[in-house]
Amino acid sequence: QLQLQQSGPGLVKPSQTLSLTCVISGGRVSSNSATWTWIRQSPSRGLEWLGWAYYRSRWDTDYAVSMKSRITITPDTSKNQFSLHLTSVTPEDTAVYYCGRLMSEPVPWGSNYYHYIDVWGSGTTVTVSS
Amino acid sequence: VLTQSPGTLSLSPGETATLSCRASQTLSSSYLAWYQQKPGQAPRLLIYGASTRATGIPDRFSGSGSGTDFTLTINRLEPEDFAVYYCGQYGSSLLAFGGGTRLEIK
């Protein structure tokens, strides 16, 4: 049973970098069928996808357009974890941040794939304030 | 963009809940999932591929739909079913969620 354990500070000052880590147990960060994602949730924005990293013979990432200039998601195979770095934060970045595993599973018929987040971290409440 | 309706649904235990998720563009049903979230908890996967129940999800939960219109139906509501429900869509290099439907006890 795969589990995700989140860690990181709950308070970040404006203009600084928000960094969170998600440690994977019961699975490998370099799995070819998993995509490691970060999502945040706030009353004003709801559930908001931030980006993901995945390994398919090499590492690759995708980021939400709204985050692209500030976000980096980095895997660490030696520690079996992945991290979120969000630079130049403002109070608008105050939210609960979740890490998650997006699974990609072949549909039994045809050539398509199912994609769904089947494992979530417990969430980290991050407040951006001086 | 995913639009969920209604925003809030008030029902009694034992009744049937019907939640709607409408996509702004046609999407493959294999990319549509439903999640349940209770206060203070992370979302939990209920349905993927629009209609396949995730492991351990009771059969009173069912999903249907295709194209742009998808539905989550919860039969015989139990007290633990009152929560917020989100639909989620996988797309090319992105993930999107609806605004949620709050299912509350009447």
Q: What is the pLDDT of residue A110?
A: 79
- What is chain A's mean pLDDT, rounded? 96
Structure tokens at B100: 């949620």
Neighbours of B81 (CB within 10 A): 20
On the question of pLDDT at A29 being above 80, the answer is yes
pLDDT at residue A111 tops 90: no
Residue whose C-alpha is closest to residue A35's, from A69, A75, A67: A75
Does A72 score more than 90 pLDDT?
Answer: yes
Give the model's pLDDT for residue B91: 86
User: What are the distances in angstroms from CA A76 to CA A23, A29, A53, A55, A57?
Assistant: 9, 8, 11, 12, 15
What mean pLDDT comes out for the span B65-82? Answer: 97
pLDDT of B11 reads 98
Could you tell me if A114 lies within 8 Å of chain B, comparing CB atoms?
A: yes
Does the pLDDT of residue B93 top 80, yes or no?
no
Q: Which amino acid is at A105?
A: E
Task: Name the nearest CA neighbour of A99 among A25, A44, A33.
Answer: A25
More confident residue, B7 or A111: B7
| Residues within 8 A of A (CB atoms), B 5-64 only | 28, 30-31, 33, 35, 41-45, 48-49, 52, 54
Q: Among partner residues B45, B52, B99, which is closest to A117 by beta-carbon distance?
A: B45
For A90-108, write each residue's pLDDT tens digit: 999 999 999 999 999 999 8
